[in-house]
A and B are shown apart, each in its own frame.
Chain A
Amino acid sequence: MSRVFTSDGAERGDLKAFNTQIGTPSVDTTSQVTGANSYLCSSTTASGSFNAFLTGLITPTFTANAEVFAQARIGFVSSATMQNQPTPANHGGMLMAMYSVATIVGYVTLDGMGFLRVLRADNNSVLATAAQSLPTVADFIYLIQFRYLVNGATGAVEVKVNGASMASASGINTLGTGPATINAVGFGASGQWASNFAPLKIYLDDALVNVNDASGAEDGYAQDIRIARAGPGSAGHITGLTAVGGTNLANVQPVPPSDSATNYNDTSTAATYDSYAPGTEEPVVPTGSTIVAVSVDAEVLTQAAPQNGKLHVYTHATDYASAAIALPTSYGRIANRWLLNPNTGVAWTLADALAAEMGVGLA
């Protein structure tokens, strides 16, 4: 399994899926263009600096010959007339980038004429340019996918739009004098792009990153995956934690939690947990959709480190716990992903996914 960056977290309503935020990206809960929530990344100036970028660490850090597949659904906030600057030096806006610590290795831009490009970062050389321009009409949503294989001689790059390859190159030097390692992938908006030098402004949602380590089915491009989130809607089959400052259900419902200092559920008893039945998911998953995975996450801390917690999924009247997960000493997110329904051993059905209870407790 090569998924290293599973969910952007927009549906959770916060920025915690990303380790670094540059500028002022925010969670947009009103426009509903790309889903129930999305990120709104607005480049605040037209200077070309990194104005609104979200960067997520991928673990482990990949060394030489890393091959990264990153994707996100991106929409444009407003229509704009393209700036007539098709040269690399005026590359318009950056949409995606791969990092080695703080150094960019490669990146995808939307140039001044609306053409997507893949560039090597050490010398900003263009490795591939789309044959067709991308209409940047307000509220149009694109699935943009980005492949980058780092190699000094047999490197490869590609950018796809809605599943169709728009630009690619192989057998090329994608390394140059830059670093060969990759430890983070960024999404966002940077730089200018419009004829009036307006900053690039996009919606961003459903960001995923796969890394090809030849270890499983998720090597390569991910599908056109969308993510819905259901919070706790009612008590589940077990309530084992002690509510402090509220009720067990209410204490885990706020997204993001605003009263975490006074209202929480706790325990110091091993193997004790709460389970909650889900409320309505957002966005609503259309009938007929294929379920790729179900994840449970929780915002937790321990005051007595080291401690391990477990996440639970309850399906077909049976509880299934994750492996032990180390708990952070200040509030942080833990998550576990079930690719298959642990009860049936095959892919989740939509009905089972929507009915699954989420649980969290002490290992």
Chain B
Amino acid sequence: MADDIRVTQAGSLIEAVLADDIRVTQAGSLIEATGPDALRTVQAGLLIEYVVLVYQGSTGPAGQGTHQGKGPKGYRGKRHGGFGLDTHRTVQIVV
């Protein structure tokens, strides 16, 4: 393909115009033209879906400084190290 490879100066390195069209895989090796990547990845993650079964009434263990409390969702625990109030299960529904 025109301009895919261009020698800009005698004795110079070969300049790859398109990213990854050329890659030297080992010192002293031949030049390998790899072509377009079949796969690129820039992120990976493991997601865990869970259900909290243990509810401890209105207060859970206190948060530890900047760490989140062990109570479900550790209400304010992460910010203030306060009580892990379980607002999720103990909120009062009023008329």
Give A residues with C-beta under 8 Å from B.
6-7, 11-12, 31-36, 73, 131-135, 137, 139-143, 161-162, 164, 166, 223-232, 241, 244, 251-257, 259-260, 263-269, 274, 276, 278, 281, 283-304, 307, 309, 327, 331, 335, 350, 353-354, 356, 358-362
In the complex, which residues of chain B have a beta carbon less than 8 angstroms from the beta carbon of A264? 40-42
A300 touches B51 (CB 8 A): no
Say yes or no: is B59 at the interface (Cβ < 8 Å to chain A).
no
CB pair B39–A267 under 8 Å, yes or no, is yes
Q: In the complex, which of the residues A135, A278, A295 contacts B49, with contact meaning CB atoms closer than 8 Å? A: A295
Interchain residue pairs A-B with the least CB separation, the first 3: A303-B36, A299-B43, A257-B42
Q: Determine the distance from Cα of A278 to Cα of B47 in the docked complex, in whole angstroms.
A: 10
**Cβ–Cβ contact B88 & A162, under 8 A:** yes
Of residues 40 to 67 in B, which have CB atoms within 8 Å of A's CB atoms?
40-54
> Closest CB-CB distance, B94 to chain A, in whole Å?
6
Contact (Cβ within 8 A) A255 B43: yes
Q: How far is the CA of A161 from the CA of B48 in the complex (A)?
A: 23
Chain B 56-95 residues near chain A, CB threshold 8 A: 68, 70, 72-76, 78-79, 87-89, 91-95
Answer whether A298 and B41 are a contact pair too, CB < 8 Å, given A133-B94, A141-B87.
yes
Contact of A331 (CB < 8 Å), options: B42, B45, B68:
B42
- B39, B43, B46, B89: the one contacting A309 at CB < 8 Å is B39
Specify which chain B residues have a CB less than 8 angstroms from the CB of A224 in the assembled complex.
Answer: 51-52, 88
| A56 to B34 CA separation, bound complex (whole angstroms) | 38
Minimum CB distance partner of A331 in chain B: B42
Count CB-based A-B contacts (< 8 Å).
Answer: 222
Query: Once the chains bind, are A35 and B88 in contact (CB under 8 Å)?
Result: no
Contact A142 B91 (CB under 8 A): yes
With A264-B40, A302-B37 as known contacts, state yes or no: A162 contacts B91, CB within 8 Å: yes
| Contact sample, A vs B, 25 pairs, CB 8 Å cutoff | A7-B47, A11-B47, A135-B93, A137-B91, A139-B87, A142-B88, A162-B88, A226-B73, A227-B49, A231-B45, A251-B42, A265-B40, A268-B37, A286-B52, A286-B54, A286-B70, A286-B72, A290-B53, A294-B47, A295-B46, A297-B43, A300-B41, A331-B42, A350-B50, A358-B46
Residues of B within 8 A of A299 (CB): 41-44
Q: Which residues of A contact B35 (CB under 8 A)?
A: 268, 304
The answer to whether A361 and B95 have CB atoms under 8 Å apart is: no
Which residue, B50, B79, B88, B91, has most C-beta atoms of chain A within 10 A?
B50
Closest to B86 in A: A141
With A7-B47, A11-B47, A293-B49 as contacts: A362 and B73 at CB distance below 8 Å: no
- Distance, CA A361 to CA B39, complexed state (A): 7
- A-side contacts of B38, CB under 8 Å: 266-269, 302-304, 307, 327, 362
